[in-house]
């Protein structure tokens, strides 16, 4: 069973959202892809859900090459310091099994300036593969209320 991931971030200052698919390098290690989408407020749930499904399409269908590997954070935000980035953005990890659906997991910042899943798993939400783009976008918006 293949599990695919999209990382979604929201600025705590400007509320800008950006997302990118995670692919796999030649060694099978998950890596961020420079195929990101950025949304400036106000945005609509449907456009967030549609972009999320597009990100999953890229990684599921392997529509990427090593040229797409790189510093996604710097490319999307202009922030060169990962430590600064972590302080300015909250994160959701969204996973998909194409045969089943989606799981949205709000993340929290850890002491080492990385993101880890919230300890309270009740904030994670699951959706079947037929979920509408609007419902998926609304779920992303709601999940950011719990990301720390």
Segment 21-50 mean pLDDT = 94
The per-residue pLDDT for 108 is 96
The per-residue pLDDT for 5 is 96
Segment 81-105 mean pLDDT = 94
Segment 85-94 mean pLDDT = 96
| % of residues, the chain, pLDDT over 70 | 99
Instruction: Please report the domains of the chain, with CATH numbers, ordered by start residue.
Output: 4-143 (3.40.1590.10)
* DSSP assigned state of 70: S
Q: Is the pLDDT of residue 89 over 90?
A: yes
The per-residue pLDDT for 1 is 63
Cα(56)–Cα(108) distance, integer angstroms: 23
Query: Over the stretch 99-120, which tens digit does the pLDDT of each residue have?
Result: 899 999 999 999 998 999 998 8
Q: Is the torsion defined by CA of 106, 95, 114, 84 positive or negative?
A: negative
The per-residue pLDDT for 68 is 92
Query: Over the stretch 37-79, which tens digit does the pLDDT of each residue have?
Result: 999 999 899 999 999 999 999 999 999 999 999 889 888 999 9
Residue with tokens 């490319």: 75
28 phi/psi in degrees, rounded to 5: 80, 15
Cα(109)–Cα(82) distance, integer angstroms: 12
Query: What is the 3-state composition of the chain as percent helix, strand, coil, each rounded to the nearest 5?
Result: 30, 35, 35
The per-residue pLDDT for 144 is 96
Angle CA(8)–CA(71)–CA(42) in degrees, nearest 5? 35
């Amino acid at each position: 069973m293949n599990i695919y991931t999209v990382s979604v971030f929201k600025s705590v200052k400007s509320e800008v959202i950006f997302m990118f698919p995670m692919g796999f390098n030649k060694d099978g290690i998950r890596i961020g892809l420079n195929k990101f989408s950025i949304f400036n407020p106000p945005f609509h749930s449907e456009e967030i859900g549609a972009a999320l499904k597009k990100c999953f399409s890229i990684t599921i269908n392997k529509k990427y090459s090593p040229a797409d590997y790189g510093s996604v954070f710097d490319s999307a935000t202009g922030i060169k310091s990962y430590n600064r980035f972590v302080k300015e953005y909250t994160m959701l990890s969204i996973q998909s099994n194409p045969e089943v659906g989606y799981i949205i997991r709000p993340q929290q910042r850890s002491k080492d300036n990385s993101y880890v899943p919230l300890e309270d798993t009740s904030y994670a939400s699951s959706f079947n593969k037929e979920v509408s783009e609007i419902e998926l976008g609304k779920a992303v918006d709601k999940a950011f209320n719990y990301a720390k």
